[in-house]
Amino acid sequence: MNLSIFFEPLNEDIFAQLDKPRTLGAYIGRFTGKFPDWRSADIALIGVNERRGQGTVEQHSVAPARVVRQKLYNLHKGAGRCHIVDLGNLRPGITLDDTYLRLKEIVEVLISHNTIPVIIGGSHDLEYGQYMGYEHMERVVNMVTVDSSVDMTEDLDVPANRKQLRQILMHEPNFLFSLGQVGYQSYLVDPEVMATLEKLHFEAYRVGEVHRSMQEMEPVVRMADLLTFDISAIRHQDAPGSTPANPFGLTGEEACQLCWYAGLNDNMTSLGIYEYDPELDDRELTATTIATMVWYFIEGFYHRKNETEFSSSKFTKYAVAFNDNPDRMVFYKSKKSEKWWLEVEPLSDDKGPRIVPCSYEDYLQAIKGEVPNRWILTQARIG
């Protein structure tokens, strides 16, 4: 497929000083004259200057991804291989729905060729297009979104970037197995929305829970096929380039940690970072934060362990028995990374067990005779 028809080439002038040896700029193949060979790339960067989902018809005078590129390309490459392409900026569709469909088609083609799209810029509702790119896979998928609010309102009068999760949940065919909401702030979310997430057996973590135990977010991110990140989830001190300004939230370091987890995740096949507004970005601090997040994602990717064969000798199997109960709870621990997984039995006999990421704390809870909440939620979703 000729993906180049969807993209605008990049201007050479912004790369004049970005080809320093041993920096990412010297290794990324970019769309300036000839469209890069994305089929053999590990990761493809995509810029999107589309904010009609915010309720405005005007696009940014400066494409968000342009500023991020200037920061990212100057960062030093880590050790090991680096096969990344920059496809340029997506040409927005005539309508917002057209942009969703273009993004869907691009994501679908890239992940079908084992190339991970990293989407930068645009309003958060574009995650709907990112999500639809998985429809062709004919299996359920897992999604994690990092946001200070939960974009699931039923109000028809609000902009699209405040209700795209509802679009995702209502989409037919429904292929969403799990949703993890990370970093939300209770005073920004309608209690009825949280009640809906609970009824659907989805996981949700307040920003205080992230602060308290970042390590417990690792299995949440490890569960996901796709991750979306609303920059408003990061506090204003570290990322001023978003609306509305948020004095509280994740730190830039925590955002990078989540992206590192995402990169390490063997099942993660797309990342979207949304709601960056360069016109509000004091001293381009947000662009630096986003560039560093992408750097950590890239580094995480090149440190993947390919831990998916649980029957192999690479894992230690633990069976936890409960008092006065013939059933056992089975855990797996990787001998290489020391990460944990949990085997969840379905409620019905016609379905097989599912192995999901968990934490050491889940194992400790089980040996105390308590059923981990992650096991309960997963079993409820399996049915």
Q: Is the pLDDT of residue 365 over 80?
A: yes
pLDDT of residue 93: 95
Where in the chain are the domains? 3-301, 315-382
- Under 8 Å between Cβ of 35 and 10: no
Q: Is the pLDDT of residue 232 over 70?
A: yes
pLDDT of residue 49: 93
Look at 150-154, 166-170, 320-324, 357-361 and tell me which has the smallest mean pLDDT. Answer: 320-324
pLDDT of residue 207: 97
Angle between helix 285-301 and 252-264 (nearest 10): 30
Confidence label for 17 from pLDDT (cuts 50, 70 and 90): low
- pLDDT tens figures, 53-76: 998 877 777 789 999 999 999 999
pLDDT of residue 324: 65
pLDDT of residue 16: 67
Of the candidates 72, 75, 69, 27, the residue with the CA atom closest to the CA atom of residue 49: 69
pLDDT of residue 312: 80
Percent of the chain with pLDDT over 90: 80
Q: Is the pLDDT of residue 325 over 70?
A: no
pLDDT of residue 84: 97
- pLDDT tens figures, 118-140: 999 899 999 999 999 999 998 99
- Under 8 Å between Cβ of 340 and 331: yes
- pLDDT tens figures, 167-188: 999 999 999 999 999 999 999 9
pLDDT of residue 81: 86
Q: Is the pLDDT of residue 38 over 90?
A: yes
- pLDDT tens figures, 278-300: 999 989 999 999 999 999 999 99
CATH architecture of 3-301: 3-Layer(aba) Sandwich (3.40)
pLDDT of residue 352: 82
Look at 208-217, 223-232, 299-308 and tell me which has the smallest mean pLDDT. Answer: 299-308
